[in-house]
Amino acid sequence: MTTLYHNPRCSKSRAALAMCQASNQEINVRLYLNEPLTIEELTGILSRLNGPISRIIRTKDSKFKSVDSTMLNLEQVESIAEFLSLHGHLMERPLLDDGTTAVIGRPVENLNQLL
C-alpha cells in the first residue's frame, strides 16, 4: 500500500494529502511526527528514494542548525537514517512511498508519478 508521510502543519504536505485523496488509490497516511519512523523504516525509504538521498533532510531549515549534525554523512544511508530517527522533524515532506519507489513532493506535482 502507498504511504504518505504527512505533517499537517506543512502547506505542501496538506496539498499532497488533497492530491492523494483525489486519486483512485488507497493511501495510508502516516503522521510521522506523532509516530516516529524507525531506523529500519528510514533505511527502506532511502533505498527506494527517487533522486539523491541527501534531499530527504531539510538542511536549510533553521532547526537544522540547532541540532548536532557533525556525525551526519549525507552520502550514507545508515547515517541519514540514524539522524532522521533522532530528528524526524527535519525530514523533507511530503513524502510518498509505494513500496517500490519513494518520492519527495517538492514540488508536490512530483507525487503524480506514484498516483
Catalytically active residues are 10
What topology is assigned to 2-113 in CATH? Glutaredoxin (3.40.30)
Question: E strands, the chain, where?
Answer: 2-5, 27-30, 95-97, 102-104
For 62-93, what is each residue's pLDDT tens digit? 899 899 888 999 999 999 999 999 999 999 99
2 forms bridges with which residues in the sheet? 27
Question: Under a CB-based contact definition with an 8 Å cutoff, are residues 105 and 14 in contact?
Answer: no
Of the candidates 33, 30, 35, 32, which has an alpha carbon nearest to the alpha carbon of residue 20? 30
Q: How far is CA 30 from the centre of its chain?
A: 10
The answer, yes or no, to whether residue 39 has pLDDT greater than 90, is yes
Provide the sign of the torsion angle of the four alpha carbons 13, 16, 21, 25, taken in this order.
negative
Question: Which strand (E) or helix (H) includes residue 2?
Answer: strand 2-5
Q: What residue segments make up the domains of the chain, in order of their start? A: 2-113
Q: Which three cell numbers stand for residue 20?
A: 492523494
Q: Model-level pTM? A: 0.92
Share of the chain above pLDDT 70, in %: 100
Look at residue 70 in the predicted model and tell me its pLDDT.
87
Look at residue 8 in the predicted model and tell me its pLDDT.
96
